[in-house]
Amino acid sequence: MHVIVVGCGRVGSEVALNLASTEHDVIVIDRKIEAFRRLGDDFKGTTMVGVGFDRDVLTEAGITPDCAVAAVTSGDNSNILIARVARETFGVKHVVARIYDPRRASIYERLGIATVASVTWTSARVLRHLLASESTPDWIDPSAKFTIIERRVPASAAGTSVGSVESASTGRVAVLSRFGEGTIPAPATLLQEDDVLHVVMPADSGALLDAALNTKEGSH
Amino acid sequence: MSILRRKREPETVETMALPQCSPIGETQPRQRVCVSGKVIRMTARPTSGQPALAISISDETGTATAVWTGRREIGGVTLGRKIAIEGVPVLHGDHLEFTNPGYTLLPR
Amino acid sequence: MNVIIAGAGSVGRYMAGQLQDSGHNVTLIDNDTKVVTQGRATRTPVGVTWWLGDACEVATLKAVGADQADVVAAVTGDDEDNLVVSLLSKQEFAVPRVLARVNNPKNEWMFNDMWGVDVSVSTPHLLTALVEEAVTVGSFVRLLSLEGGKARLAEVTLAAGSPAIAKELINLGLPRESTVVAVLRDGHVVVPRGDTVLHQGDEVLVLVSGAVEDDVRRALVG
């Protein structure tokens, strides 16, 4: 997948280096050419000097609806602009924006933009949100019997009840984050697109959770 | 593992309850409010070259509109769906309009 | 009216002073301690309430009474800040009229209802338009964008070959989504009526929707 990382600070460079060493095709955009020094000499991706919410720059960076965009500059406002332009002008589905101010995060989550807050941020979380592939465990208990998995709810699972996801996955939804705010859901709570679930479940049941969240609209 | 004991304590502070909504007919503009109703209309309302989704919801006291900019659809939001909307509405002519509000899908 | 101005640079301060003089209740927000301290100390502009804070934060907008504001003007020197202030004002406080300044014309395309902007003002664009207006006669110059970009105020100075010369306004065939706002002639303003006849050299100010701009241009320029 083609990934555009905007912002080559500590976060952006780490995300870019991680991605470039896998099979993804990475381009890093930054306003300042000196920022690319953080990538080192062996960086396998490409770099571009420019403003990340400029349509011409993004077009030149190869933006398409199937690519992924990480808005990880040091400014919340820039990150939101980049995220919205990527999503709304270019139709990119996999967009994540790093937000320092948690109060702003909830407003931006309502715009349908996945935000990663600075406090809990790691490049691993950014990558996980960006690539939105199978559930990866946040935590494994000492006995290695249980894990906590973080998963973003896809649009196709909207309307499913928490209870039915719990039964199907044999886990418990410990925390549901909606529009940037975490709560403990009731079994009757209906899932919505972009909700972030933290699910406690038996260690090897990840596939059951994936299956439970990939149900089609018709079943509820 | 207190989360597993959650079922005996449905009214803890952080437990997700259904939102408290007020009737659309009694809602004043420019105040944070929650209203709920059935989706009676959905339109794509592209403006300034970007997509936008507009829905109208209705309860027994009136109709309100919600617009989400930059999207064409929202999972679970379909005609006939009961939904709660939370935000600060603007008075648009004679009806209330919410821009990018929070929403909760309600049980059928 | 209650007016909140974000950005106390020369533009913001000027606007604040003018509006306060006209009897409005103006609050000026800036994030620079020196600027705000000095403004408060010198009490300039007169009567204006100063606020130190980041206008891009909901808490700041709430503190200055955005929920009661009639107008928010986002006029900082930073386009990103102006867009975010506009979005928050519209979405979180339902401010009826949001005005935003465009610093870099390359960003002008975003200054519309997608970010809660009702009126955008691009100083470079305006300056260029005014320069164009001063040196050209006969071309259609856009002065101002309104209603989130849907309506524009434009100006045409009627050149010798204009199809509109010697015609009554009512016979120009101007489309419905347009209005002639004023005709400037020999230093005074002619209030246009259906039977107003246009002359060569008249400066016609017209409000048009984007959809009919070309039709109006054809009717006035040819």
pLDDT single digits (tens) C41-84: 998 888 999 999 999 999 999 999 999 999 999 999 999 999 99
Which residue from C46, C49, C50 is spatially nearest to C22, judged by alpha carbons? C46
Residue owning tokens 């259609």: C140
Q: How far is CA B73 from the centre of its chain?
A: 14
Split at pLDDT 50, 70, 90, the class of A203 is confident
A187 contact residues in B (CB cutoff 8 A): 7
- Put simply, whether C136 touches B (Cβ < 8 Å) is no
Residue B6 has pLDDT above 50, yes or no: no
Residue C31 has pLDDT above 70, yes or no: yes
Number of helices (H) and strands (E) in chain C: give both, helices first: 6, 11
C114 contact residues in A (CB cutoff 8 A): 84, 88
pLDDT digit string (tens) for A89-108? 998 988 989 888 877 787 88
Residue A218 has pLDDT above 50, yes or no: no
Residue B2 class from Cβ within 10 Å (0-12 exposed, 13-18 middle, 19+ buried)?
exposed
Split at pLDDT 50, 70, 90, the class of A132 is low
Dist. CA A80–CA C205, nearest whole Å: 37
* Contact between chains at A55 and C91 (C-beta distance less than 8 A): no
* Mean pLDDT across C139-143: 78
* Contact between chains at C114 and A55 (C-beta distance less than 8 A): no
Dist. CA A54–CA A165, nearest whole Å: 41
Q: What is the mean pLDDT of chain A?
A: 86
Residue C160 has pLDDT above 70, yes or no: yes
Residue C199 has pLDDT above 90, yes or no: yes
* Mean pLDDT across C125-140: 67
pTM of the model: 0.79
pLDDT digit string (tens) for B17-52? 777 899 999 999 999 999 999 999 999 887 777 788
Structural tokens at position A118: 């600075």
pLDDT digit string (tens) for A154-200? 889 999 999 999 999 899 999 998 988 888 999 999 999 989 899 99
∠ CA A9-A15-A18, rounded to 5°? 135
Strand order in the sheet with A94-99: A46-49, A25-30, A2-6, A68-71, A94-99, A114-117
Residue B2 has pLDDT above 50, yes or no: no
Dist. CA C43–CA B61, nearest whole Å: 50
Dist. CA A163–CA A183, nearest whole Å: 15
Residue C208 has pLDDT above 60, yes or no: yes
Higher pLDDT, A151 or C55: C55
- Name which of A99-113, B12-26, C142-156 the model is least confident about: B12-26
* Mean pLDDT across C206-219: 89
Residue owning tokens 């609050």: C27
List residues of B whose CB lies inside 8 A of any C CB: 29-31, 47-50, 69-70, 87-90, 99-100
* Contact between chains at A81 and C83 (C-beta distance less than 8 A): yes
The pLDDT of residue A119: 52
**Nearest CA of chain B to the CA of A130: how many Å?**
19
Strand order in the sheet with B90-92: B90-92, B95-99, B62-69, B52-59, B33-44, B82-87, B102-105
Dist. CA A216–CA B8, nearest whole Å: 31
**Nearest CA of chain C to the CA of A106: how many Å?**
11
The pLDDT of residue B4: 43
* Mean pLDDT across C114-119: 90
Q: What is the mean pLDDT of chain C?
A: 89
* Contact between chains at A110 and B102 (C-beta distance less than 8 A): yes
Q: ipTM greater than 0.90, yes or no? A: no
Nearest CB to B48; choose among C92, C93, C149: C149
A54 contact residues in C (CB cutoff 8 A): 106
> CB contacts < 8 Å between B and C, how many?
36
* Mean pLDDT across B78-92: 92
Higher pLDDT, A23 or C21: C21
